[in-house]
Every structure is written in C-alpha cells, then in structure tokens.
Amino acid sequence: MLRKGFITIGDYFIFLNKVFSKPAKWSIFLKKWVFEMDAMGIGSMLIVSIVSVAMGSVITLQTALQIESSWIPSWTVGFTARTSIVMELCPTIISLLLVGNIGSRITAEIGSMRVTEQIDALEIMGINPASHLVLPKVFASIIVNPILCVFSIAFALLGGYLTVWITDCVSTYNYIDGLTYCFRVYDVIYAMTKTTIFAFVMSTVASFYGYKIDGGALELGKASTQGIIVSSFIILILNVVITNIML
Amino acid sequence: MIEVCSVSKYFGEKQILHNINTQFEEGKVNLIIGRSGSGKTVLMKCLVGLHSPEEGKVLYSGREFHNMPDIDKQKLRTEMGMVFQGAALFDSMTIGENVAFPLDMFTQMSDGEKNDRVDFCLECVDLQNVNSLYPAELSGGMKKRAAIARALACNPKYLFFDEPNSGLDPKTSLLIDELITKITHDFNTTTIVNTHDMNSIITIGETISFIYQGFLEWTGNSHTILSSDNHNLNDFIFAQPLVQRIKK
Ligand SMILES: Nc1ncnc2c1ncn2[C@@H]1O[C@H](COP(=O)(O)OP(=O)(O)OP(=O)(O)O)[C@@H](O)[C@H]1O
Ligand SMILES: [Mg+2]
C-alpha cells in the first residue's frame, strides 16, 4: 500500500516532467490554451456565482448572530465576513468546487482519449501527448481559477450585502464600513497565491489520473473519483502549509 | 526495412510474445496474421514503441528503436503512420481537422495546400463530403477509412495497419486492400498489416508472418502459404468452408 503510494508519487513527477516540455508548435498551443480558458471559465461561472452568493450570505448571518453585543462595534460584522471570505472561503471552497467541476472533466476527457487509443495515436505521430494535451489545461487553469476566485469574492460580498439589506441585522452602512475597514492588499495576494497553487494541483492531478488509466471504460469512472479525492486531499494539506508560511 | 530480433513481451507474469524473429521489407506489403488473441496487436505496438519489449530489439533501417533518445524517436515517428484497430480518431475534431492535424503539427503548409492535401487523402479512401462531420457521426467503416487518410497525410515511410478491413463490407475491404498495395508500391513504404482476413492474405501478402499463441510459427508469402505443411497454419487458413472447398 505504502509502496504503491510512493510509486504513484514517482509516476506523477515523471508525468510532470513530460508535461513541462516545450510545445511542438506554439500556435497550436496558444489556440488550445485559449480554448481551454474559455471552456473552463464560462462553464464554471454560474455554479461559482451561485455558491458564492449563498456562502457570503450565510457567513454574514452567522457572524452577525455571533457578535450581538452592544460593546462590539457593528462594523465588525462586515470586517469579519470579509476576512473569512477573502482569506479562506473563496480560495479554498471555490478551489474544491472547481476540482469537482473542472478537474473531473479533465480526467474524463484525457481518460477517454487514453481508452480509445487517441493518446497512442498522438504518440505515434511523434507528438508528446502529455505536453500537447495537458500543458494548455494547466496554463488555462492557473489563469482561470484566480479570476473565478475574484468573481467569487465579489459575489460573496454581494451576497452578504443583500442579506444585511434584507434582514437588517446591521445597517448596510455599517456593513460597507466593515468591508472597507483596514483593507490589506496582502490578503488578496495571499488568496490569489493559494488559488493559483491549488489550480496547478487540480489540473495536473486530474490529468495524471486520466492519463495513467490502463484498461477499459470502467476504469474511467474510478479514475475520475480518485482524481477528485486525491487533489482535494492535497489541496487541504497545502492549505495548512501555505497558511503557515504566508501568515 | 524493419527487423525484429528475438522480441519477447510479458504482461506481468504472462508472456504474450515468445522470441519473435522476422523482418518487414521496404516497398512491400508485409502481413502479420494469426487468430484473435495471438498477439498481433501487441507485436505491432512493440514495433512502434507503444509497448517496450522486455527482451530483444527492433531495428529501423539498422537503427535500434527502443534505445533511441526521445528526440530521435519522435523524429522517426513523424515518418510513421498507424491505423489503430478502433480507428482512434480525435473526437473533438472534425474529420477534416483530424486529417489535417499531422500537417498542422509538422509542416509549414498554407491553409490552401493543407485543404488540397486533406481532400486528396480523403479521396484516396473514397470518402466525400465528410470534412465537417465529427467522428461520432460516421459509421465504423467510414471511421476506419478516415483514420487511413490521416495516416497517409504526411507521406509516411512506415505504415502500420491494425486490421484495416475488419468491420468493412467485402467491396470496401477490397478497395482498402488495393489502396494499401498501391500506396506501398507508389511511395515505396514499408507497410505492415495485421489481419485475419483470408482474402487480404491471398491477394496482398508479399511477405507473411504467422503468429500462433505468441510464437512466430511460419513466414512466407501469398504463393507459398497454401502449400505450407505447418499444421497450425493450415488449421488457421483452412478454417472456413469456402477455402476448404477451394483447396479440394
Ligand atoms: N495491455 C494488456 N495487458 C495485459 N494483457 C494484454 C494487454 N494487451 C493484450 N494483452 C493480451 O495479449 C494477448 C494478445 O492480444 P492482442 O491484442 O495482440 O491480440 P490480437 O492478435 O491483436 O487479436 P485480435 O485479432 O482479436 O485483435 C491477449 O491474450 C491479451 O489478453
Ligand atoms: Mg488486434
């Protein structure tokens, strides 16, 4: 079991080495890159915005309920909600959401190419299939995921604002005041760094699990699930590590 | 010319190929024949490097393939074309894009030249008006032919066909056989065909290697095959009643 784990880790790094080699033709790489960004970005927009609005609203409500005391200033609600949204919820939760959304799509796509020998066909043509298929996806996700994260933050804050406005737990003026109170650019840099690293993990692990499928279509579903579990796990661990390093 | 020297291949404990020695000649149609599961596909994949054999070597014009640096391997591969048993067309591209793909990757052709080349290759396999269709919209036989067109696109020196006419009707099958022979002679390619189609064996086999349960049992050509005294080979070729009757 342990031995198998180490072999898989080794295979993953060998795979990465194959992925990160110069594309055979830049024009084709660019075309695929743009295509992937489009597919990933547009495809995930709706789910990301819905989840973010809901998340922002719940966080704001929760915070407002916890801090119902007259000697804590009411801008604290906005401030606390903002901090948790920007620093933790959006980077991590949205990354995990995208693992299920984009990651599983990547595994299924590459895995089905493997099962139907399309990857072998690429190899025979003298193309490095790992680089040709995976590199555009990796580069697309490390651009798209942070953008989606920014959108998610905006939608979450909006969700919080709407909640405050509807329930009137604190005044909207105080909420906005809290949102803008003591704003640090470093928080955003921290969030973007996390999202970018998570995006890299998501796209490479998902591709790896699709690429190494050996067998029929049955393996495809298994690989998809495995890819999601493993990348989520790595993301959660890295989250702790990065938080320790950066904060 | 491709030489196969003492190639053995294992999957886990199971030995699939046993010490295969044979050669495939330039400008000729070389057949690998044998029953289903005998190891034809595995042998072909060893030739092109999709499997690496545990023992033995494969020489392309005297150069050992499996020990080559990756760069040289990729270069040699641009001279190969292969048609897979299941066609292996790229799902996400139209047929036209599929055929143009190797041209996109390896040539500096203009779009016009590319289109001409694509049309020419599709015409070779008797496919018209399919350029803008996706592989999922084609029948099995049409996919096979499109895959052949894609393999031809870059004027390969080595052509590999894994059962090119399985799933085709007799007429189309004949057409593909003729096409394979014509390309091989016109462009002097080293062509290797996996087949168990008796008709192809008799009509296009210029050299024939017979594989039986992973062993190379017999080599010869389409003239000598009917008079061979190898028991397993006779079992294989005279399995069908029609051929039995012809023999009598
Ligand atoms: N990837 C693999 N892993 C394990 N065993 C395999 C693998 N590929 C093929 N085999 C085994 O190798 C043997 C030969 O298979 P192969 O596909 O070469 O047969 P074939 O001669 O091409 O048959 P067919 O005419 O049906 O295509 C089979 O017994 C098969 O079970
Ligand atoms: Mg086969």
Asked whether B42 lines ligand 1 (CB < 6 A), one says: yes
CA distance B183 to B154: 13
Is the pLDDT at B242 greater than 80, yes or no?
A: no
Looking at residue B127, what is its pLDDT?
87
Question: Cβ contact (<8 Å) for A120 and B84?
Answer: yes
Q: How far is C-alpha A203 from the geometric centre of its chain's CA atoms?
A: 9
Share of chain B above pLDDT 90, in %: 47
Q: pTM for the complete prediction?
A: 0.89
Q: Does residue B229 belong to any structural domain of this protein? A: yes
Angle at the Cα of B181 (from B24 to B75), degrees rounded to 5? 55
**Confidence band for B89, pLDDT divided at 50, 70 and 90:** very high
Q: Which among B73, B88, B91 has CB closest to A120? A: B88
B167/A contact by beta carbon, under 8 A: no
Using pLDDT thresholds of 50, 70 and 90, give the confidence band for residue B113.
very high
Residue B75: CATH number of its domain: 3.40.50.300
Contacts of A24 in chain B (CB under 8 A): 105-106
AA identity, residue B58: V
Statement: residue A117 has pLDDT above 80: yes
Give the residue from chain A lying closest to B44, CA to CA: A124
Confidence band of B232 (pLDDT split at 50, 70, 90): confident
Q: Taking 90 as the threshold, does the pLDDT of residue A184 lie above it? A: no
Compute, in degrees rounded to 10, the torsion defined by CA atoms B125, B126, B132, B135: -60
Q: Do B77 and A124 touch (CB under 8 A)?
A: yes
Q: Per-residue pLDDT for B241 more than 80?
A: no
Total count of domains within chain B: 1
Residue B104 lies in a domain: no
Distance from CA of A116 to the nearest CA of B (A): 6
| Interface membership of B52 toward A (CB under 8 Å) | no
Amino acid at A116: T
CA distances from A112 to A43, A107, A108, A178, B98 (A): 20, 8, 6, 49, 17
**In the prediction, which pLDDT does A105 show?**
94
**By residue range, what is the domain housing residue B58?**
1-79+192-248
Residue B98 lies in a domain: no
pLDDT of residue A224: 92
pLDDT at residue A219, as a whole number: 87
- The residue of chain A nearest to residue B76, with distances taken between CA atoms, is A126
Q: For residue B214, is it within any domain?
A: yes
Query: Is it the case that residue A168 has pLDDT exceeding 90?
Result: no
Pairwise CA distance, residues B187 & B207, whole Å: 18
B37 CA distance to ligand 2 centroid (A)?
7
> What pLDDT digit, counting tens, does each position of B181-222 carry?
998 998 899 999 999 888 888 888 899 999 999 999 899 888
**DSSP labels for B1-49?**
-EEEEEEEEEETTEEEEEEEEEEE-TTSEEEEE--TTSSHHHHHHHHHT
- Kindly state whether residue B207 falls inside one of the protein's structural domains: yes
Confidence of residue B235 (pLDDT cuts 50, 70, 90): confident
CA B38 to ligand 1: nearest atom = 21
Rounded mean pLDDT, B23-36: 91
Average pLDDT over residues B9-34: 92
Mean pLDDT over each residue of chain B, to the nearest integer: 89
Domain presence at residue B70: yes
Contact B74 A128 (CB under 8 A): yes
Indicate if the alpha-carbon torsion angle B103, B105, B107, B110 is positive or negative.
Answer: positive
Nearest to residue B60, comparing CAs of B75, B39, B40? Answer: B75
User: Hey, what are A164's tokens?
Assistant: 């405050």
Q: Supply the pLDDT for residue A56.
A: 93
B85 CA: nearest ligand 1 atom:
27
pLDDT digit string (tens) for A11-68? 999 999 999 988 888 989 999 999 999 999 998 999 999 999 999 999 999 888 887 7
pLDDT band at B108 (very low <50, low <70, confident <90, very high): confident
Mean predicted lDDT score pLDDT of chain A: 91
Question: What share of chain B has pLDDT > 70, as a percent?
Answer: 100
Q: What is the pLDDT of residues A134-152, one digit of tens each?
A: 999 999 999 999 999 999 9
- Are A152 and A94 spatial neighbours (Cβ–Cβ below 8 Å)? yes
Indicate the burial class of B91 (C-beta count within 10 angstroms; 0-12, 13-18, 19 or more). Answer: middle
- Is B97 contained in some domain? no
- Convert the pLDDT of each residue in B157-166 to its tens digit: 999 999 988 8
User: A118–B74: do the CB atoms touch at under 8 Å?
Assistant: no
Q: Answer yes or no: is pLDDT of A113 > 90.
A: yes
Let me know if B19 is exposed, middle or buried by CB neighbors in 10 A (0-12, 13-18, 19+).
middle
What pLDDT does A242 receive?
Answer: 93
In chain A, % of residues over pLDDT 70: 100
Q: Residues B43-60: pLDDT tens digits?
A: 999 999 899 899 999 999
Does residue B169 lie in a domain region?
A: no
For residue A192, pLDDT beyond 90: yes
Q: Residue A162: its pLDDT value, please?
A: 92
Within 10 Å of residue B63's Cβ, how many Cβ atoms? 11
Q: Is B11 in the pocket of ligand 1 (CB under 6 A)?
A: yes
